[in-house]
């Protein structure tokens, strides 16, 4: 089993379990009992809850010891059993965790006031924490999680207690009220700075409120620390229904916020009061989709820098300018044009192919074929791309995502694509099935787009993942996706750097509606600049703008554009369409000198509408004739 510090040093995003008390209550244990005592009196029940969270996808489970300190146990006459309760809790969790899952020793507040607000001194508090920490250590925990603290002076004593007994990692989590501060009035910026100074390994927030308030806290915390962040929200605020407390946030809602937590910079995500294995399952799915963690394929730095040395001596790597017309233009700095056209919904591609003929006649360089866009069911992108190239004679840029295939399936697909004559790829992680019409479909996500870029680069050098020769190398032009409007732009740039290091030749952006945002992004990636193709989406209505802004990850429609579309839509469909086209042309004109190409989306399959955007390019008509001469 890995050491937890290895996880801390990686860029993986990990999932915590959810509420223990909520689950025990649902299983018939009423709140007048000591839930910590169940470690001794009903260990099978506690183990069952742990196992449910492990099956749901938790990477870390917490011991059932939140209230297992002397003062809290004293209320039940159990203070003499403190050590037995904590040791048993750690061992039960370890049995449930197996080899894959880490066990965190859970330590909560003492339940009394310490100086200067009460009679208990700092040192006395530290000794009380040490009693529990010592027992959890004997039980075999991998790390400690200090959670649901309101008083930063108290959590400091808990940190001191752990550090005096061991060097295991510490996750230190405060709890806040709906106003965003602790009950003592401490802001997220202040307690984050203090926890960082006191050498907590991870700084976080949990409990008390739902995900929306904790998201705001995480965003503030990110600005004052380089430490990794953790977040475990309640399933909203509880409602009293006929004397019982119900938490109202659905698993789907919590999963949506999990993606937002990731974008805000959180690396450890789980649940607190009111969350169940159902919540953790969807949170795990969302985390796995947004940032696949397991079996990530990464070429070692030495391999990335010296991959040519690994290439078999009898293999001739195809030069980028020889891989395709698209690749040649990218390599020589020529401006490229493409239109994104969805694969057909059924097995009859005639209508889709007819529309693509218009693109070839107009002189568009390539057709971008999305791979299961928005996790919908359509004809396979690879089959569509082959039909496009064979039937129409225009090059395809095949989007290939990590969602639906394991490593072997990807390898087979890519070798097959090469054999069928596909040369241009756009490698993306892909939308999780939850976003589509089949939410129960599984998502594989063995690797993400970075790992996939590594894989394709190796294939281009005649190697499989294990550095075994494959014979004739593939000749893919490797493109990747990038989001200039990412909420966590630092993380996006870091991932972009890795993609470039892995072998990316060009990148296509998410639809751009904020040109200042794009220019700022381009400025920040100048040190790893590869050709950037800007995504342009001609809006057709105010509703279309709202959908893109609110429901398509990574797309931000500016307030001014939103207002223009609102006003135009009130005048009718044609006015809205004309305004959307005008906006798209303006955007393309504004960024033309900063980019090396444009990908225009065809809303609802209307390629004629997409072609009208290219009128903003003064040389677009003449480029067709030049390309024809070059091909001759």
**pLDDT tens digits for range 14-55:** 999 999 988 998 888 877 789 999 999 999 999 999 999 999
Residue 441's pLDDT band, with cuts at 50, 70 and 90, is very low
User: Using one digit for the tens of pLDDT, what is the confidence trace for 548-595?
Assistant: 887 666 688 999 999 999 999 999 999 999 999 999 999 999 999 999
B/e letters for 186-221, b = 16+ CB within 10 Å, e = fewer, are bbbebbbbbbbebebbbbbbbbbbbbebbbbbbbbb
User: Using one digit for the tens of pLDDT, what is the confidence trace for 264-280?
Assistant: 999 999 999 889 999 99
H or E segment to which residue 503 belongs = none
Is the CB of residue 344 less than 8 Å from the CB of residue 596?
A: no
Residue 410's pLDDT band, with cuts at 50, 70 and 90, is confident
Residue range 299-322: mean pLDDT, rounded: 67
| Contacts with 348 (C-beta within 8 Å, 6 or more apart), sequence order | none
With a cut of 70, say whether residue 378 has pLDDT above it. yes
* Token pair 């900063």: residue: 594
Residue range 354-378: mean pLDDT, rounded: 83
Who has greater pLDDT, 17 or 11?
A: 17
In this predicted structure, which of 81-85, 176-180, 248-252 has the lowest mean pLDDT? 248-252
* Token pair 């700022």: residue: 520
The rounded distance, in Å, linking the Cα atoms of 556 and 579 is 18
The rounded distance, in Å, linking the Cα atoms of 296 and 446 is 6
Query: Which pLDDT score, from 0 to 100, does residue 315 have?
Result: 82
H or E segment to which residue 74 belongs = helix 70-74
In this predicted structure, which of 145-159, 180-194, 240-254, 437-451 has the lowest mean pLDDT? 437-451
* Token pair 């945002």: residue: 517
Is the CB of residue 146 less than 8 Å from the CB of residue 171?
A: yes
Residue 298's pLDDT band, with cuts at 50, 70 and 90, is very low
The rounded distance, in Å, linking the Cα atoms of 93 and 631 is 67
Dihedral sign (CA 550, 552, 554, 555): negative
| Contacts with 570 (C-beta within 8 Å, 6 or more apart), sequence order | none
Phi-psi region of 572 (alpha: psi -120 to 50; beta: other; left: phi over 0): left
Query: What are the structural domains of the chain?
Result: 4-290 (3.20.20.330), 301-631 (3.20.20.220)
Mean pLDDT of the chain: 87
Residue 444's pLDDT band, with cuts at 50, 70 and 90, is low
Residue 600, token pair as written in the block: 């225009």
What distances in angstroms separate CA 565 from CA 516, 557, 601, 612, one per listed residue?
20, 10, 18, 18
Q: How many CB atoms lie within 10 A of CB 561?
A: 20
Query: Which pLDDT score, from 0 to 100, does residue 398 have?
Result: 95
Describe the crossing of helices 559-571 and 542-551 by its angle, rounded to 10 degrees.
150
Residue range 112-124: mean pLDDT, rounded: 88
Residue range 436-457: mean pLDDT, rounded: 65
How many residues are present in the chain? 632
Query: Which pLDDT score, from 0 to 100, does residue 346 have?
Result: 83
**Residue closest to 26 by CA, chosen among 178, 244, 206, 294:** 244
Residue 23, SS3 per DSSP: helix
The rounded distance, in Å, linking the Cα atoms of 128 and 255 is 37
Highest mean pLDDT: which range of 282-291, 475-484, 613-622 = 475-484
Residue 254, token pair as written in the block: 């919590």
User: Using one digit for the tens of pLDDT, what is the confidence trace for 450-495?
Assistant: 888 988 998 999 988 767 788 999 999 999 999 998 878 888 999 8
Cα angle, residue 625 at apex, residues 621 and 629 outer, rounded to 5°: 160
Residue 590, token pair as written in the block: 């504004």
In this predicted structure, which of 155-169, 283-297, 545-559 has the lowest mean pLDDT? 283-297
Q: How many CB atoms lie within 10 A of CB 429?
A: 21
Residue 438's pLDDT band, with cuts at 50, 70 and 90, is very low
0.75 surpassed by pTM = no
Intra-chain end-to-end CA distance of the chain, in Å = 61
The rounded distance, in Å, linking the Cα atoms of 550 and 552 is 6
The rounded distance, in Å, linking the Cα atoms of 392 and 351 is 12
Instruction: Give strand ranges (E) for 391-531.
Output: 395-401, 424-428, 477-482, 506-511
């Amino acid at each position: 089993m890995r050491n937890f510090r290895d996880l801390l040093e990686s860029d993986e995003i990990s999932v915590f379990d959810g509420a223990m008390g909520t689950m025990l209550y649902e299983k018939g244990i009423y709140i007048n009992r000591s839930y910590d005592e169940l470690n001794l009196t009903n260990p099978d029940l506690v183990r069952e809850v742990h196992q449910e969270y492990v099956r749901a996808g938790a990477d870390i489970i917490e011991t059932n010891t939140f209230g297992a300190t002397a003062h809290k146990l004293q209320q039940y006459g159990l203070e003499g059993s403190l050590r037995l309760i904590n040791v048993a809790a750690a061992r039960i969790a370890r049995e449930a965790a197996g080899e894959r899952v880490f066990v965190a020793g859970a330590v909560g507040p003492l339940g009394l006031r310490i100086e200067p607000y009460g009679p208990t001194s700092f040192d006395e508090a530290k000794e009380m924490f040490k009693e529990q920490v010592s027992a959890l250590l004997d039980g075999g925990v991998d790390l400690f999680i200090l959670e649901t603290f309101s008083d930063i002076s108290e959590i400091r004593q808990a940190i001191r207690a752990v550090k005096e007994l061991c060097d295991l990692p510490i996750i230190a989590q405060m709890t806040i009220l709906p106003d965003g501060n602790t009950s003592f009035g401490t802001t997220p910026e202040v307690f984050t700075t203090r926890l960082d100074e006191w050498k907590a390994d991870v700084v976080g927030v949990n409990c008390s409120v739902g995900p929306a308030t904790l998201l705001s806290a995480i965003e503030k915390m990110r600005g004052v620390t380089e430490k990794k962040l953790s977040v475990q929200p309640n399933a909203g605020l509880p409602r009293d229904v006929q004397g019982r407390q119900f938490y109202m946030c659905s698993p789907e809602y919590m999963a949506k916020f999990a993606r937002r937590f990731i974008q805000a910079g959180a690396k450890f995500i789980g649940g607190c009061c009111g969350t169940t294995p159902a919540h953790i399952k969807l949170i795990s799915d969302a985390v796995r989709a947004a940032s696949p963690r397991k079996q990530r394929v990464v070429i070692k730095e030495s391999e990335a820098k010296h991959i040519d040395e690994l290439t078999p001596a009898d293999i001739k790597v195809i030069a980028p300018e020889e891989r395709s017309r698209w690749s040649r233009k990218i390599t020589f700095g020529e401006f490229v044009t493409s239109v994104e056209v969805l694969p057909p919904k059924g097995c009859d591609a005639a209508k889709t192919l007819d529309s693509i003929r218009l693109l070839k006649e107009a002189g568009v360089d390539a057709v971008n074929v999305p791979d299961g866009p928005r996790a919908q069911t359509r004809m396979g992108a690879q089959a569509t791309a082959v039909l496009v190239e064979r039937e129409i004679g225009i090059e395809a840029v095949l989007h290939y995502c990590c969602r639906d295939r394991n490593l072997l399936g990807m390898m087979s697909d890519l070798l097959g694509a090469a054999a069928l004559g596909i040369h241009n790829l756009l490698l993306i992680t892909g939308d999780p099935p939850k976003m589509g019409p089949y939410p129960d479909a599984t998502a594989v996500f063995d690797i993400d787009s970075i790992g996939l870029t590594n894989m394709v680069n190796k294939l281009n050098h005649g190697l499989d993942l294990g550095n075994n020769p494959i014979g004739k190398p593939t000749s893919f032009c490797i493109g990747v996706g990038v989001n200039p409007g990412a909420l966590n732009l630092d993380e996006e740039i870091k991932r972009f750097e890795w993609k470039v290091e892995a072998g990316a030749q060009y990148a296509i952006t998410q639809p751009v509606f904020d040109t200042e945002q794009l220019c700022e992004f381009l400025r920040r990636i100048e040190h790893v600049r590869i050709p950037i193709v800007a995504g342009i989406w001609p809006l057709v209505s105010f509703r279309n703008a709202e959908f893109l802004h609110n429901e398509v990850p990574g797309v931000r429609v500016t307030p001014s554009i939103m207002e223009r579309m609102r006003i135009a839509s009130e005048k009718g469909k044609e006015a809205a369409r004309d305004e959307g086209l005008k906006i798209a042309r303006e955007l393309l004109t504004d960024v033309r000198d900063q980019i090396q190409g444009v990908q225009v989306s065809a809303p609802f399959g209307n390629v004629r509408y997409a072609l009208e955007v290219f009128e903003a390019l003064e040389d677009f008509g003449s480029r067709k004739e030049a390309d024809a001469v070059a091909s001759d």
